[in-house]
Amino acid sequence: MDESVPMTTEGHQRLQEELKNLVRFERPKVVQDIAEARSHGDLSENAEYDAAKDRQGFVEGRIKELNHKIAVAQVIDPTTIKSDKIVFGAKVTLFDIDTEKEVTYQIVGVDEADIKVGKISISSPVGRALVGHKIDEEVSINVPSGVKVYEVTDIEYS
Protein backbone atom coordinates (compact mmCIF):
# COMPACT_ATOMS: atom_id res chain seq x y z
CA MET A 1 0.00 0.00 0.00
CA ASP A 2 1.21 3.50 -0.77
CA GLU A 3 2.22 5.85 1.98
CA SER A 4 -0.24 8.60 2.76
CA VAL A 5 0.56 11.99 1.30
CA PRO A 6 0.00 15.12 3.41
CA MET A 7 -2.35 17.66 1.87
CA THR A 8 -4.15 20.72 3.19
CA THR A 9 -7.95 20.80 3.18
CA GLU A 10 -7.77 23.48 0.48
CA GLY A 11 -5.54 21.31 -1.74
CA HIS A 12 -7.77 18.27 -1.22
CA GLN A 13 -10.85 20.29 -2.19
CA ARG A 14 -9.12 21.51 -5.38
CA LEU A 15 -8.29 17.95 -6.42
CA GLN A 16 -11.87 16.82 -5.77
CA GLU A 17 -13.23 19.73 -7.85
CA GLU A 18 -10.89 18.92 -10.73
CA LEU A 19 -11.94 15.25 -10.59
CA LYS A 20 -15.62 16.18 -10.57
CA ASN A 21 -15.12 18.47 -13.59
CA LEU A 22 -13.29 15.76 -15.52
CA VAL A 23 -15.92 13.11 -14.80
CA ARG A 24 -19.01 15.28 -15.31
CA PHE A 25 -17.95 17.50 -18.19
CA GLU A 26 -14.65 16.59 -19.88
CA ARG A 27 -15.22 12.83 -20.19
CA PRO A 28 -18.69 13.18 -21.83
CA LYS A 29 -17.39 15.93 -24.13
CA VAL A 30 -14.53 13.73 -25.31
CA VAL A 31 -16.92 10.83 -25.97
CA GLN A 32 -19.09 13.19 -28.00
CA ASP A 33 -16.06 14.49 -29.92
CA ILE A 34 -15.00 10.92 -30.77
CA ALA A 35 -18.49 10.07 -31.99
CA GLU A 36 -18.60 13.19 -34.15
CA ALA A 37 -15.15 12.50 -35.61
CA ARG A 38 -16.17 8.90 -36.41
CA SER A 39 -19.15 10.20 -38.36
CA HIS A 40 -16.77 11.96 -40.76
CA GLY A 41 -15.71 8.65 -42.27
CA ASP A 42 -12.23 7.16 -42.79
CA LEU A 43 -10.54 7.02 -39.37
CA SER A 44 -7.06 6.33 -40.76
CA GLU A 45 -6.66 9.93 -41.96
CA ASN A 46 -8.94 11.65 -39.48
CA ALA A 47 -7.00 14.19 -37.44
CA GLU A 48 -10.09 15.12 -35.38
CA TYR A 49 -10.51 11.49 -34.34
CA ASP A 50 -6.83 11.15 -33.41
CA ALA A 51 -6.95 14.37 -31.38
CA ALA A 52 -10.12 13.27 -29.58
CA LYS A 53 -8.62 9.85 -28.77
CA ASP A 54 -5.46 11.55 -27.44
CA ARG A 55 -7.60 13.85 -25.30
CA GLN A 56 -9.56 10.84 -24.05
CA GLY A 57 -6.31 9.15 -22.99
CA PHE A 58 -5.24 12.28 -21.15
CA VAL A 59 -8.61 12.71 -19.39
CA GLU A 60 -8.80 9.05 -18.33
CA GLY A 61 -5.20 9.12 -17.11
CA ARG A 62 -5.80 12.27 -15.10
CA ILE A 63 -8.98 10.81 -13.57
CA LYS A 64 -7.02 7.73 -12.50
CA GLU A 65 -4.21 9.89 -11.09
CA LEU A 66 -6.60 12.13 -9.14
CA ASN A 67 -8.51 9.15 -7.72
CA HIS A 68 -5.21 7.72 -6.48
CA LYS A 69 -4.02 11.01 -4.97
CA ILE A 70 -7.34 11.52 -3.18
CA ALA A 71 -7.27 7.93 -1.91
CA VAL A 72 -3.81 8.25 -0.33
CA ALA A 73 -4.23 11.83 0.91
CA GLN A 74 -3.74 12.56 4.57
CA VAL A 75 -5.84 15.72 4.83
CA ILE A 76 -4.53 18.16 7.42
CA ASP A 77 -6.39 21.30 8.46
CA PRO A 78 -3.70 23.86 9.40
CA THR A 79 -6.19 25.77 11.59
CA THR A 80 -6.28 22.83 14.02
CA ILE A 81 -2.51 22.75 14.54
CA LYS A 82 -1.14 24.12 17.80
CA SER A 83 2.63 24.19 17.62
CA ASP A 84 5.45 26.62 18.24
CA LYS A 85 7.54 24.78 15.63
CA ILE A 86 7.28 24.79 11.87
CA VAL A 87 5.30 21.77 10.68
CA PHE A 88 3.16 20.91 7.66
CA GLY A 89 0.60 23.64 6.97
CA ALA A 90 2.54 26.43 8.68
CA LYS A 91 2.64 29.90 7.17
CA VAL A 92 6.20 31.02 7.88
CA THR A 93 7.64 34.51 7.67
CA LEU A 94 11.39 34.57 7.16
CA PHE A 95 13.90 37.41 7.25
CA ASP A 96 16.61 36.97 4.62
CA ILE A 97 19.85 37.92 6.39
CA ASP A 98 21.65 38.81 3.11
CA THR A 99 18.99 40.91 1.40
CA GLU A 100 17.31 42.14 4.60
CA LYS A 101 13.89 41.37 3.09
CA GLU A 102 11.02 39.32 4.45
CA VAL A 103 9.40 36.44 2.61
CA THR A 104 6.38 34.37 3.59
CA TYR A 105 5.80 30.74 2.61
CA GLN A 106 3.20 28.15 3.49
CA ILE A 107 4.42 24.57 3.80
CA VAL A 108 2.05 22.42 1.70
CA GLY A 109 1.85 19.08 -0.10
CA VAL A 110 3.66 18.34 -3.36
CA ASP A 111 0.54 18.83 -5.53
CA GLU A 112 -0.28 22.18 -3.92
CA ALA A 113 3.12 23.83 -4.24
CA ASP A 114 3.13 27.10 -6.22
CA ILE A 115 5.99 29.45 -5.48
CA LYS A 116 4.17 32.33 -7.21
CA VAL A 117 1.61 32.36 -4.40
CA GLY A 118 4.10 31.53 -1.65
CA LYS A 119 3.32 27.82 -1.28
CA ILE A 120 6.31 25.49 -1.07
CA SER A 121 6.31 21.72 -0.89
CA ILE A 122 7.17 20.01 2.35
CA SER A 123 9.49 17.78 0.32
CA SER A 124 11.38 20.69 -1.28
CA PRO A 125 14.84 21.55 0.07
CA VAL A 126 13.49 24.77 1.63
CA GLY A 127 10.43 23.04 3.10
CA ARG A 128 12.51 20.22 4.60
CA ALA A 129 15.03 22.67 6.05
CA LEU A 130 12.34 24.79 7.75
CA VAL A 131 10.48 21.95 9.47
CA GLY A 132 11.15 21.78 13.20
CA HIS A 133 12.45 25.33 13.63
CA LYS A 134 10.97 27.95 15.96
CA ILE A 135 10.62 31.75 15.94
CA ASP A 136 13.95 33.62 16.28
CA GLU A 137 15.98 30.64 15.05
CA GLU A 138 18.32 30.92 12.09
CA VAL A 139 17.95 28.42 9.27
CA SER A 140 20.68 27.75 6.71
CA ILE A 141 19.33 26.36 3.46
CA ASN A 142 21.35 25.00 0.56
CA VAL A 143 19.93 26.49 -2.65
CA PRO A 144 21.35 26.40 -6.20
CA SER A 145 22.99 29.81 -5.73
CA GLY A 146 24.68 28.77 -2.48
CA VAL A 147 23.62 28.88 1.15
CA LYS A 148 20.78 31.19 2.21
CA VAL A 149 20.43 32.14 5.86
CA TYR A 150 16.99 33.09 7.16
CA GLU A 151 15.71 34.06 10.57
CA VAL A 152 12.23 32.74 11.39
CA THR A 153 10.19 35.79 12.42
CA ASP A 154 6.66 34.36 12.53
CA ILE A 155 4.82 31.02 12.38
CA GLU A 156 1.09 30.99 11.80
CA TYR A 157 -1.48 28.24 11.32
CA SER A 158 -4.46 29.57 9.43
Q: What structural domains does the chain harbor?
A: 5-76 (1.10.287.180), 78-156 (3.10.50.30)
The reply to whether the predicted model has a pTM over 0.85 is no
* Confidence check: pLDDT of 45 > 80: no
The pLDDT confidence band at residue 2, using thresholds 50, 70 and 90, is low
* Confidence check: pLDDT of 121 > 70: yes
Q: Are strands 119-121 and 5-8 parallel, antiparallel or unpaired?
A: unpaired
Nearest to 6, CA basis, from 108, 156, 80 = 108
Max intra-chain CA distance, the chain: 70
* Confidence check: pLDDT of 5 > 90: no
Exposure on the CB side of residue 84, measured as CA atoms within 13 A: 4
What CA–CA distance (Å, rounded) separates 132 from 83?
10
The pLDDT confidence band at residue 62, using thresholds 50, 70 and 90, is very high
The three-state secondary structure class of 31 is helix
Mean pLDDT of 65-74: 94
Indicate the average pLDDT of the chain: 91
Mean pLDDT of 43-49: 79
Q: What pLDDT is stored for residue 1 in this prediction? A: 46
Task: Using a pLDDT cut of 90, give the percent of the chain over it.
Answer: 75
